[in-house]
Amino acid sequence: MERHGLGYMLEMARQHRLRNPTRLELQMIGVLGALKLAYEREFVVCKTRMMTVDFMLPACNLAIEVHGGMHDQGKPDYRRRLQNDTDKRALLDAQNRRVLTLHHSEFKDLAGVIERVKREVQGDHSTAN
């Protein structure tokens, strides 16, 4: 860290996540591909804190977060993750970006995930988290 600084270390962590998607991220890539939606992975929301969202759909200004089991209540660092999610949502709101959060349990029904994404892309925000 002394040699390259915090920014370098955070970018290397982001690059690692890009090269090593989780099972849920791979499923989301499949969903977005099936819907023929252009997206960016590990989209940087805030460089100073190196906050990223899992997916950004630039054409409709929609961020998608895929929350795996580590985001569940009772897991280590749950409160810190909850605060980070709150901070990230505030930053995205300030940038006029919408956020769709998908919990890992929702991926048991991929058709349901596809429908949620379609509704968000089409502008029906009544089901967004």
Residue scoring higher pLDDT (14 or 57): 57
State yes or no: pLDDT of 52 exceeds 70.
Answer: yes
User: What is the reported pLDDT for 123?
Assistant: 83
User: What is the reported pLDDT for 76?
Assistant: 82
Residue with tokens 């977005």: 32
State yes or no: pLDDT of 124 exceeds 70.
Answer: no
State yes or no: pLDDT of 104 exceeds 70.
Answer: yes
Q: pLDDT tens, 17-46? A: 889 899 999 999 999 999 999 999 989 888
Determine the Cα–Cα distance for residues 123 and 61; give it in Å rounded to an integer: 11
State yes or no: pLDDT of 78 exceeds 90.
Answer: no
In this structure, the number of other CB atoms found within 10 A of the CB of residue 45 comes to: 20
Residue type for 68, please? Answer: G
Determine the Cα–Cα distance for residues 2 and 108; give it in Å rounded to an integer: 44
Determine the Cα–Cα distance for residues 46 and 122; give it in Å rounded to an integer: 26
Q: pLDDT tens, 84-102? A: 899 999 999 999 999 999 9
